[in-house]
Chains A and B, each alone.
Chain A
């Protein structure tokens, strides 16, 4: 009987390297395999960090174009490399939004929340959670989104962010504390 064995990280690395070689040899369409494989977790990260589907789509698109242009520079895991491009794109966007939204309050949201249809689709908690997330420092939000929304382990997060498990636990705990402080009056 034939059984399906999940690809090990080494297999995945080899498959990715093979695809990268094909793209570098001129097979542009092969890049779509990498987009299909990695876009979903990256999109969730960008969406969690920015709170706006439009912005998340833009960051994802820019990141994959940048990845394509610099594909020859990939050393090691492609997914970790492209994650760093997306994460930096999110942080850059947050820096700019902070510059233009110095006092962030309930009536001062990023563009993603503003259409009436989207507002109707969201429950109150969703909306409040997004608002609360936007008040967190980027490093705390990043840790919370990676842990809770992306469902990553602390070890995986440490690997991707180049920091320690202990430091990340601290960030996640502080993010929870801050979110609880913001939400418990209304919900708890």
Chain B
């Protein structure tokens, strides 16, 4: 005969539950500690840090320590939030700027082009040759 190991179906030791520890019985339901999964930051703490909820009231020693840790990190973040650029840096930036004014970016069709006389002559000769070739081909038809 196989033992029924699944006592939850009610067919085994009916109505028998795991006996509660004394500490569980002493605490009200809302105060029972919900273990955090691994090192996950609890939803409560995230909501507090996101400004969506007030600072959580510590319900366990572990969560109290986590809240305290984040309070300290927030204090340090607050200190860093007031840091300003060292004065010499602004002067350094101004001194390092190029002397010329920034170039205004023009679309390609508005940009001027420079062509040397040799290039202009070569382009003209090319166009004449192209025109002659087209004329010849039309005459042949």
On A, residues with C-beta under 8 Å from B are: 23-26, 28-29, 31-32, 35-36, 39-40, 42-44, 47-48, 53, 57, 60-61, 64-65, 68-73, 125-126, 129, 148-151, 154, 169, 172-173, 176-177, 179-181, 183-184, 187-188
Shortest distance from the beta carbon of B72 to any chain A beta carbon, whole Å: 6
**Residues in chain B near residue A57, CB distance under 8 A:** 86, 89, 92
**Contact A148 to B74, CB < 8 A, known contacts A25-B101, A177-B40:** yes
Interface residues of B in 81-122 (CB under 8 A from A): 81, 83-86, 89-90, 92-94, 96-99, 101-105
B96 touches which of A47, A61, A181 (Cβ 8 Å): A61
Q: Give bound CA distance, A188 to B72, whole Å.
A: 10
Q: Give bound CA distance, A44 to B83, whole Å.
A: 7
Asked whether A43 lies within 8 Å of B41 as measured between CB atoms, the reply is no
Q: Give bound CA distance, A179 to B69, whole Å.
A: 10
Asked whether B97 lies within 8 Å of A169 as measured between CB atoms, the reply is no
**Interface residue B44 (Cβ < 8 Å from any Cβ of A):** no
Extra A-B contacts (16), CB below 8 Å, given A42-B85, A148-B77: A31-B97, A36-B90, A43-B83, A43-B84, A43-B89, A44-B81, A60-B93, A61-B92, A61-B93, A68-B97, A71-B102, A148-B74, A149-B77, A176-B46, A179-B73, A187-B72
A72 touches which of B69, B84, B97, B105 (Cβ 8 Å): B105
Asked whether B65 lies within 8 Å of A184 as measured between CB atoms, the reply is yes
- Interface size, chain B (Cβ < 8 Å): 39
Asked whether A149 lies within 8 Å of B66 as measured between CB atoms, the reply is no
B73 touches which of A24, A69, A148, A154 (Cβ 8 Å): A148
Q: Give bound CA distance, A69 to B97, whole Å.
A: 8
**Residues in chain A near residue B39, CB distance under 8 A:** 177, 180-181, 184
Q: Give bound CA distance, A172 to B48, whole Å.
A: 13
Q: Give bound CA distance, A70 to B54, whole Å.
A: 45
Asked whether B105 lies within 8 Å of A23 as measured between CB atoms, the reply is no
Q: Give bound CA distance, A23 to B96, whole Å.
A: 15
**Which of B50, B70, B93, B99 has its CB near the most chain A CB atoms (within 10 A)?**
B93
- Nearest-CB residue, chain A, relative to B39: A181
**Interface residue B80 (Cβ < 8 Å from any Cβ of A):** yes
The 10 closest A-B pairs by CB, nearest first: A181-B39, A188-B65, A43-B85, A148-B77, A39-B85, A71-B102, A188-B69, A72-B104, A26-B101, A176-B41
**Residues in chain B near residue A25, CB distance under 8 A:** 101
Asked whether B73 lies within 8 Å of A129 as measured between CB atoms, the reply is yes
**Residues in chain A near residue B86, CB distance under 8 A:** 53, 57
- Nearest-CB residue, chain B, relative to A46: B85
**Contact A32 to B83, CB < 8 A, known contacts A23-B102, A68-B97:** no
Q: Give bound CA distance, A64 to B85, whole Å.
A: 13
Asked whether A176 lies within 8 Å of B49 as measured between CB atoms, the reply is yes
**Interface residue B68 (Cβ < 8 Å from any Cβ of A):** yes
- Nearest-CB residue, chain A, relative to B99: A28
**Interface residue B17 (Cβ < 8 Å from any Cβ of A):** no
